[in-house]
Amino acid sequence: MFVGENLTNLRIMHGYSRKQLSDILGVTEQAVWQYENNYTSPKMQVINELKQVFNVKNKYFYTNDVLKKTNKTETVNVMNIAYRSKIMNVVSKTQAEAKHIEYLDTFVDYLTAKVRYPTMQIIRLRDEVISYLNNSTDDRLVQINKVAELARKKLGFRNDTNEDLMFLVEKSGVFIFEKALGEEIDAYSLWTNNERPYIILGNMKRSASRRNFDIAHELAHILLHYRIEFTNLDRKEHKNIENEANIFAGTFLLPEDEFRNDMKDILHITNPDAYIDLKKKWSVSLQVLGYRAAKLRIIEPKTHRNFYAALHRKGYLKKEPLDELIPIQKPMKVKSIIDLVSKKGLLDIRRMIETDWKVEVTFFYRMTGIESTFFDKYFISKQDFGLDNVTDFSPRVSGK
């Protein structure tokens, strides 16, 4: 029997309205509504179309999906999703991302069911931050800077580099994934209701420096803005929250003492090209370097305006030197977990994909951002002729 809820979950995760899906399938919007509410079952031709659209097996639609089996429908509060975006959050987009996180969280649960995890460092850090914020009499700017400094220390960063940024944030307990988010949204983050933090990064071709800033910005939301209902913020409140995250990111990525020493070597402080060696050292943009110098009052406001004007004049606001040379850090944590549980014999990855989830490999690429070729090794059949004990069958010549 066709399970309409499975179709609803897939449609929402992919961001389709019923009308959009009906146009793809060549049926009416009412027909899609009837499929989802189990009033009618789609014909096999429609099932085959759905299979292609969502990269699942035909049988996916005839048994309860992983969300239903694990009761994951209340994992995410859509109001807690923090976007790094040029636009205010859109309801349909927020619902799609919430459903996406439900699938991801189910996947993480599935992978880690037989893996013992220590208490996540990020939770201890968050609790320490909450305690500080609740009891501090410092003004907000001081609070933000202190939390950024604390985070860098607790997560084990060196004071002279950001080269392990992605690794150390993932190691702390944050799950980071890539996804096609479109041009309007750079990244987003949230805590699930079961206290698991996620950062979702856009997978459009971006520079390492912009990606690093996205990670630091979302880490700010995870630590400073725990359980804030972002969807209820007005435009002014949203702008203020984003500004706090930007301040945190600058402080986190460029620790004050080391950065002040670096700035002593900059002779032409209004020339962005003078900062290229610092960009290489810290893997942050020239724009962020200038912003941080201004915030620390190493350079005067007028000088910073001249610096920014030079960025614009040189075309660096769109593309900077070294953008194509500094390697972009990629999420590795979940890949490592997959390799571990497979190597230890705790999980058959091929069975997971084909039998338990009933999907194609491309479904996991869409969900996790992990390239499809990563899974190829788990689909290689090991051919064994059972020749461990070979009997000598060589011909014998009888004597005359």
Could you write out the DSSP letters of every residue in 203-231?
-SS--HHHHHHHHHHHHHHHHHSTT--GG
Contacts of 115 (CB under 8 A, 6+ apart): 337, 340, 341, 346
> Listing from the earlier edge strand, what are the strands of the sheet with 82-85?
82-85, 185-191, 197-202, 175-179
Confidence of residue 400 (pLDDT cuts 50, 70, 90): very low
Residue 189 parent element (H or E): strand 185-191
Strand partners, 178: 201
Note the pLDDT tens digit of each residue in 45-92: 999 999 999 999 999 999 999 888 887 667 788 778 887 655 555 666
State how far the alpha carbon of 253 is from the alpha carbons of 104, 132, 157, 369, in Å: 28, 21, 10, 25
Q: Span 160-184, mean pLDDT?
A: 92
The superfamily (CATH) of domain 1-64 is lambda repressor-like DNA-binding domains (1.10.260.40)
Give residue limits of the domains in the chain: 1-64, 121-164+205-313
Work out the pLDDT band at 317, boundaries 50, 70, 90.
very high
Q: For 204-236, what is each residue's pLDDT tens digit?
A: 767 999 999 999 999 999 999 999 988 888 889
pTM of the complete model beyond 0.95 = no
Q: What is the band of 398 on the pLDDT scale with cuts at 50, 70, 90?
A: low
> How far is the C-alpha of 149 from the C-alpha of 151, rounded, in Å?
5
pLDDT computed for residue 196 by the predictor:
94
Q: How far is residue 94's CA from residue 74's CA, in Å, rounded to a whole number? A: 15
323 pLDDT more than 80: yes
Mean pLDDT, all residues of the chain? 90
